[in-house]
Amino acid sequence: MLRNVRCEMRTLCYVVQTLKMSSPYFMQSSAVLTRSSSHGAGGGPAASLRSKLSSRQGAVDAVPARQVKVEAVEATVSEEKPSLTPSSSDGCQERLRPVAEIEASSLLPRGRRRRQVKVEYDGDDGASRVKAKHWEPPNWTKQLGFIREMRSRRDAPVDNMGAEKCYDTQAPAHVRRFQVLVSLMLSSQTKDQVTGAAMQRLRAHGCTAENIVATDDKKLGELIYPVGFWRNKVKFLKLTSAMLVTEFGGDIPNSVEGLVRLPGVGPKMAHLAMDIAWDQVSGIGVDTHVHRISNRLGWLKKPTKNPEDTRKALEEWLPRELWSEINWLLVGFGQQVCLPVSPLCSVCLNQHSCPSAHKCSPAKRPKPGSPRSPGPSRKFKVESEQEDDARSKSAANQTPPD
């Protein structure tokens, strides 16, 4: 790099010396020598004076042109090597100015133009940003339509013994809301038939927050048995009822945050309670049926391992107006057709679009008249003996309270 700088400086010095040789100043020196010689030859003082004045006038007129030429040469060298370097081997120290200090218009030829640089700025509102493409599963609308068709009779257990059917319609509003919450707490890991029977016994006993608090644990266990994990649910019912009496006057909270504070109440129960009791859609109630079927149909961007992750994944793409409907649709569909073990893919209308079809299905179609046969007119009156996991069976086999 130092060798290149020296070569450039030598070239610059040569150009400067050439300009000096051709400049009026050099000519002036020649004129002085000529004048001296001519004076010695007999030239008059007037001629010498005229020669001197004309030489000075020519030098004054030529100075701006020389300066412009020198500046142009310096600017050309500066563009090639913008660093500051000492010049010249003849003893004169000269600094090359950076390109930014030189007037661009005075250096570039007329035919040459600088390339225009287009500067773009992102808006503060993010309008210039490209929005990510909205993901949704393929054929989900068609699959949902088939599920609606298969659920059109509404004869699944959830349709007759779900949380929407377990409360007393003649009770005051706050008592109805409390009974909805109790039925949701009892339904966890329990068949709807067992939950419905337990709620009938509680309503006959008096299913209010104040009455549950006044009931002893033994009696309350006898009323709700054989729901899954009935001993734990006795404790949760007593604690929750006490909190509701103390903080809400026997009513239930009207927010998801308030509901999940209650002992034994999770996100699924909270969202369903907001929908059924308060008629507010706050989220999708995802139980084991919704979790299983959503993964089987490929309705999730990636497979999930628990119902809460399934809820978040569904809410990312499913239209909000379907959040309330999707729970009872998939729960009934899971109770009748898309069973936990050996689903009836051969009678499902989605068997040609479901990525999980026939992977866990029975080898043969159920015989007509069998408990699992839907019948020729798509009467899906199929009850699964294995629709819940093994914990439901173990809970049912627990010893009843003394």
Question: For residue 317, how far is the Cα from the chain centroid?
Answer: 12
**Residue 134: which region, alpha, beta or left (left: phi > 0; alpha: psi -120 to 50)?**
beta
301 noted as active-site residue: no
Distance (Å, rounded) from C-alpha 178 to C-alpha 318?
29
Where are the alpha helices (H) located in 23-114, listed in sequence order?
Answer: 24-40, 45-80, 104-107
CA dihedral 143, 144, 147, 153 (to 10 degrees): -150
- Of the listed 118, 133, 191, 268, which one is catalytic? 268
C-alpha distances in angstroms, 142 versus 309, 344, 354, 378?
24, 19, 11, 18
Where are the alpha helices (H) located in 215-302, listed in sequence order?
Answer: 217-224, 230-248, 256-260, 267-276, 288-297
Place of tokens 């006490």: 242
Distance (Å, rounded) from C-alpha 257 to C-alpha 270?
8
C-alpha distances in angstroms, 59 versus 17, 35, 74, 267?
17, 17, 22, 96
Residue closest to 8 by CA, chosen among 69, 81, 70: 81
Q: How many Cβ atoms are within 10 Å of 313's Cβ, its own excluded? A: 20
N- to C-terminal Cα distance for the chain? Answer: 99
Would you please indicate which residues are annotated as catalytic (active-site) residues? 268
